[in-house]
Amino acid sequence: MRFVRPTVLSALVIVTSGFALLASTGCAERYEPVIVSREALGTIVTVTAYGSDGDAVEAAVGDAFAAMDEVETALSAYVTDDADTGRSSAATGTPVTIAQFNRDPYSWQPLAADAITILDRLVTLGVTESFSPTLLNVIALYDFGGTGRVPSEDEIDSALRTTRMLSMRETTAGVEARFSRPEKSATFLSPPPGLDLSGAAKGLGLDHAADVLKASGDVDAALLTSGSTTVAFGDKPDKTPWRIGIEDPRDTEAVIAVVEVRGEVTVSTSGDYQQYFEREGVRYHHILDPETGLPAPGIRSLSVVGAADGLDSDILSTALFVLGQARAEDYARQHELGLVLVDDSGEIRVLEGPGDAQWRIVLDER
């Protein structure tokens, strides 16, 4: 464990890949990455990919973005104009999107495979107490994207009761889910319950995109980042490491650490600065504790390095943030993960990960 208190503190993942330079002629094209940035997974995703055939690499990157679009369509919690198109039910056996499910959360509906993958992974990782996919209506009480209101304790308690009323069952149609309808006398007229898998969807989308690039046979190495989550695989042609920066949660123009790695790695950051508002000197951020419905205290940002894939990385950065500093560090040690954590006093704490880790966390000790 290393400790440092710099004058500027923070952490969100950014990428500093740069162009590989090659002096020799004849192989220059191979060392020029294809870099594409566009909207996907509810944010801006950048893919940096290397391969000997630039046109083939570009085509593979296009297919990778198509895979991400499929994940976003299936897992977005928010209703779109075409949310009712192709609506299905347990009777038809066709899985619904999460947006479709949320339009009628009190009816049994079959979930898509990607949704089941995420729900299963929460159990496998052992983080169901600190990562809840059912907080959609609690988050809506705060209105992070609008007025930024602070809900009352009674409103939060009422909404939390509904989040715990999700049931699942296996049928011939697959895995179905629904929320039990609360008694009207026991609940406020607050937003209805729903599923929100946004804390894991980016990681899963990047995994699917990386799988597409690998399967193409045309991409030797690539780095994919959604900003808060990054997935890398393969060696850059010039053998320099991937460099994944970790931002300052109080000055996003500054980088407090860089993860250097050759080959595969995942990095994901959750922070109190990504969606937040302030009221009377109090910062209310979107990472809610499922037990209290309140913003999880004690941490400004937490970055997980070296999880098995983008999905695990995305889930764990949120789950460990909610667990708090001591329990997050214990979990990271037990699972041989790297950790960069900025506590609420601004102190940076670093767990390097196992001794044979292929990554290196380089801290800016200003």
Between 74-83, 256-265, 322-331, the lowest mean confidence (pLDDT) is in 74-83
Beta-carbon contacts of residue 281 (< 8 Å; ≥ 6 apart): none
What percentage of the chain exceeds 70 in pLDDT?
85
Beta-carbon contacts of residue 112 (< 8 Å; ≥ 6 apart): 74, 75, 95, 96, 97, 98
* Residue that is written with structure tokens 């026991």 in the block: 186
- Are 165 and 180 a contacting pair, CB within 8 Å? yes
Q: What is the pLDDT of residue 137?
A: 94
DSSP 111: B
Name which of 181, 209, 195 is nearest 111 in CA terms.
195
Range 57-60 contact pairs with CB under 8 angstroms and sequence separation of 24 or more: 57/218, 57/219, 58/34, 59/216, 59/218, 60/212, 60/213, 60/216, 60/218, 60/219
Beta-carbon contacts of residue 54 (< 8 Å; ≥ 6 apart): 29, 32, 34
* Coil, strand or helix at 7: coil
Q: What is the pLDDT of residue 145?
A: 81
In angstroms, the CA 275 to CA 285 distance is 6
Between 12-21, 175-184, 308-317, the lowest mean confidence (pLDDT) is in 12-21
Q: What is the pLDDT of residue 344?
A: 96
Report the DSSP beta bridge partners of residue 37.
46
Query: Residue 248 is encoded by which pair of tokens?
Result: 């300052």
- Are 360 and 338 a contacting pair, CB within 8 Å? no
Q: What's the rounded mean pLDDT across residues 293-308?
A: 98
CB burial readout 314-324, b (16+ within 10 A) else e: bbbbbbbbbbb
- Are 229 and 266 a contacting pair, CB within 8 Å? yes
Q: What's the rounded mean pLDDT across residues 276-289?
A: 94
Looking at the predicted structure, is the pLDDT value of residue 254 above 60?
Answer: yes
Looking at the predicted structure, is the pLDDT value of residue 7 above 90?
Answer: no
| 49 or 9: which leads in pLDDT | 49
Q: What's the rounded mean pLDDT across residues 3-12?
A: 35
Q: What is the full DSSP assignment across 207-238?
A: HHHHHHHHHHSS-SEEEEE-SSEEEEES--TT
Beta-carbon contacts of residue 185 (< 8 Å; ≥ 6 apart): none
- The pTM assigned to this predicted structure is 0.89
- Are 287 and 272 a contacting pair, CB within 8 Å? yes
Residue 232 gets the label, from left (phi > 0), alpha (psi -120 to 50) or beta, of beta
In angstroms, the CA 124 to CA 130 distance is 13
Specify burial of residue 217 (Cβ count, 10 A radius: 0-12, 13-18, 19+).
exposed
Q: What is the pLDDT of residue 188?
A: 52
Looking at the predicted structure, is the pLDDT value of residue 217 above 70?
Answer: yes
Looking at the predicted structure, is the pLDDT value of residue 11 above 50?
Answer: no
Q: What's the rounded mean pLDDT across residues 5-25?
A: 37
What percentage of the chain exceeds 90 in pLDDT?
78
Looking at the predicted structure, is the pLDDT value of residue 24 above 60?
Answer: no
* Residue that is written with structure tokens 């950065």 in the block: 317
The tens digit of pLDDT for each residue in 56-88 reads 999 999 999 999 999 999 999 985 555 444 444
Q: What's the rounded mean pLDDT across residues 305-332?
A: 98
The tens digit of pLDDT for each residue in 76-128 reads 998 555 544 444 455 567 999 999 999 999 999 999 999 999 999 999 999 99
pLDDT-derived band of residue 190, with 50, 70 and 90 as boundaries? low
| 132 or 20: which leads in pLDDT | 132
In angstroms, the CA 132 to CA 101 distance is 17
